[in-house]
Amino acid sequence: MVILGPWRSPLGPVAPPSSDQEQPAPLTMTLTPQEQTIVAPDGQPHTDSHGASLIVPSDILEEAAHVELIASSAQGTLADALSQDFTIETPFYAIVADNDGRGRASLTLPAASPDSRVAVVIDTTYLAILDTQPVNGVLHVEAAVTPKTLPDTPAPGIARDGSIHYVVLRAKSGSAASPADTGSIPGLNLAPRRAYAAEASQTNTYMSCLALFTRSSHRCRTDGRIYVMWLGEALLEPTQVDAIIAQTSGILKAYADKGFTAAGSNASIWIVVDRSVSAPQYSIRSEVIYLPLDSATSITGDKARRELAHELFHWIQDEAYAMTAAALSGAKTWWLETTAENGVFLIDNGSLEYNLKHYGQTNVSGAMLGFQAAPFTWGRNDEARYVHAQLLKVNMCEYSTDCPISEKDMIWAINRGRYPLNDAAAQAKILAHLDDYARYLLGVAPERTNTSIPLHETVRVGDAFGDIIQISRTPESEFSLRTSSSAPQIVQETPDGRPHEYHINAAIEQGGVYPLQVISGQSVQRGHPG
Ligand SMILES: [Zn+2]
């Protein structure tokens, strides 16, 4: 759920190899920079010695002064395998800057033949061949400007290369890779290439984006915009991959219908399914969404679908925000994460309740609940403050000067890369409405802010979030206490000759709340001291 990813060791938690399938080492490549072209953000084409050119719009960079178009040569097993099936017509291109850009740069690559195609190489390992055809001898790609390096804090944890490269390939005629010869290979959808984009949009027919690459375990399927890449025939069934494409497409359409402009663009979406990833991730380094195998194989389930929707919202944000700069700021990260959750709330009815259940008892650094922690900031590897999406939702309303932010304001801000709550007056409005937040958490409608926020079962019943103390009668005692919490929040003391008692020491930071549910038998009595 985090932007930068929770890889915990340099190589990430590696899943044990399956017992019945030996996993051969994946083919990869090493890239050696050969030529660097400095591209000013002047809206003009800058061309290198190979005939590749890049146009960078003037408004794309927040801090960096220029973009670099880097041409590299490739060595290694993947480069060798590619050169057997394809003529590699250009160097491998990366588009980088000191920080990531907003929007897109326009990359033009020379195409030697009508059959030339752009291939995308992610992390020097994953591969997709785009269906875009040459026009007047060139191929166009609207490419993201990616950061050369990631900020030191919060810890990026991204050990994988985090790179994206573009290259022009042409299938060698007469090789096993030519379309006429691959028609009988099982598992490949060889719909006529010229037709597939139109077909995909009308009938959800997806196809391989590596049908012409026969010499490795690289796999890729696409609908013409969304590219899902993985390694190994046995890892995923094509029907499972098509479900990922269908979910992604449906989520993007729902976001576009709500007014998030990037969702409705033609920009390609890269999704990598990788068994070594522990949770869904959006990488600001490569603009790639990584899915672990369990998400990929259960993508229609509530958890995987909502996590995908959250990561896709980060992709939408990345079109308008300079995300590497944002990652250094707790306030900006708070906005990007709580709006990502609120984006999901807008398109998925059960997700507001799901967020409260999922993060309602998550601690900040083991000391207090995310509820108690101050809003408008974000800790290193923060998992607890995702519940602050509830605070933002309670404060999202219309038609009143009391409203800190409206749904329209949020959509406008996401489309333009703004931070409307990084403002003392807006924050003061939210802090002035903590009583409305408490009302909602007690299962009662807010009075001044979001008066129509759904009062779902989790807030009405109230025993699935916050700290809980249960009072019951047991064979040993008339009056027995149990709690979901522990010191320092709730400290148990046993005075001489008396049953033990609880001392509630929960600290509440400014803008935080402390939901404490006291359950007596079956009834729930609740208080919100803050
Ligand atoms: Zn996130």
Q: Are 439 and 390 within 8 A, CB to CB?
A: no
CA of 314 to the centre of ligand 1 (A): 7
Does residue 125 surpass a pLDDT of 70?
yes
pTM for the model: 0.88
pLDDT band at 178 (very low <50, low <70, confident <90, very high): very low
Q: Are strands 207-208 and 218-222 parallel, antiparallel or unpaired?
A: antiparallel
CA of 128 to the centre of ligand 1 (A): 25
CA of 341 to the centre of ligand 1 (A): 8
Residues with CB under 5 Å of ion ligand 1 are 1, 337, 340
Q: Among 76, 84, 86, which Cα is nearest to 31's? A: 76
At 458, give phi and psi (nearest 5°).
-65, -35
Domain boundaries, the chain: 30-318, 323-460, 462-527
CA of 381 to the centre of ligand 1 (A): 11
pLDDT at 505: 87
162 vs 461, more confident: 461
CA of 479 to the centre of ligand 1 (A): 43
Does residue 523 surpass a pLDDT of 80?
no
pLDDT at 155: 36
pLDDT band at 149 (very low <50, low <70, confident <90, very high): confident
CA of 100 to the centre of ligand 1 (A): 17
pLDDT at 109: 98
Residues in the chain: 530
pLDDT band at 8 (very low <50, low <70, confident <90, very high): very low
Per-residue pLDDT, averaged over 383-406, amounts to 92
CA of 326 to the centre of ligand 1 (A): 12
At 425, give phi and psi (nearest 5°).
-70, -40
* Range in 30-44, 157-171, 359-373 the model is least confident about: 157-171
Q: Which of 4-18, 83-97, 182-196 has the highest mean pLDDT?
A: 83-97
Q: Among 216, 231, 270, 172, which Cα is nearest to 78's? A: 216
The dihedral built from the CA positions of residue 317, 319, 320 and 322, taken in this order, carries a sign that is: positive
Helix, strand or coil for residue 517? strand
CA of 485 to the centre of ligand 1 (A): 26
CA of 99 to the centre of ligand 1 (A): 19
CA of 156 to the centre of ligand 1 (A): 13
Does residue 177 surpass a pLDDT of 80?
no
Does residue 145 surpass a pLDDT of 80?
yes
pLDDT at 161: 61
pLDDT band at 153 (very low <50, low <70, confident <90, very high): very low
Q: Are 264 and 418 within 8 A, CB to CB?
A: no
Q: Which pair of tokens denotes residue 465?
A: 């979030």
Residues linked to residue 155 through DSSP beta bridges, in sequence order: none
Q: Are strands 218-222 and 226-231 parallel, antiparallel or unpaired?
A: antiparallel
CA of 97 to the centre of ligand 1 (A): 23
Q: Which of 231-245, 320-334, 490-504 has the highest mean pLDDT?
A: 231-245
pLDDT at 1: 44
Does residue 60 surpass a pLDDT of 80?
yes
Q: Which amino acid is at 529?
A: P
pLDDT band at 252 (very low <50, low <70, confident <90, very high): very high
pLDDT at 348: 98
Per-residue pLDDT, averaged over 386-402, amounts to 92
CA of 423 to the centre of ligand 1 (A): 22
CA of 307 to the centre of ligand 1 (A): 9
pLDDT band at 82 (very low <50, low <70, confident <90, very high): very high
Q: Are 501 and 481 within 8 A, CB to CB?
A: yes
Q: Among 123, 119, 103, which Cα is nearest to 111's? A: 119
pLDDT band at 401 (very low <50, low <70, confident <90, very high): confident
- Give the model confidence (pLDDT) of 273-309 as tens digits: 998 888 999 988 889 999 999 999 999 999 999 999 9
CA of 311 to the centre of ligand 1 (A): 6
pLDDT at 18: 47
CA of 114 to the centre of ligand 1 (A): 41
Instruction: Write out the E strands in 172-251.
Output: 207-208, 218-222, 226-231
Does residue 451 surpass a pLDDT of 70?
yes
Distance CA 120, CA 224 (A): 13
Mean pLDDT (the chain, rounded): 86
Count the Cβ atoms, other than its own, within 10 Å of residue 38: 10
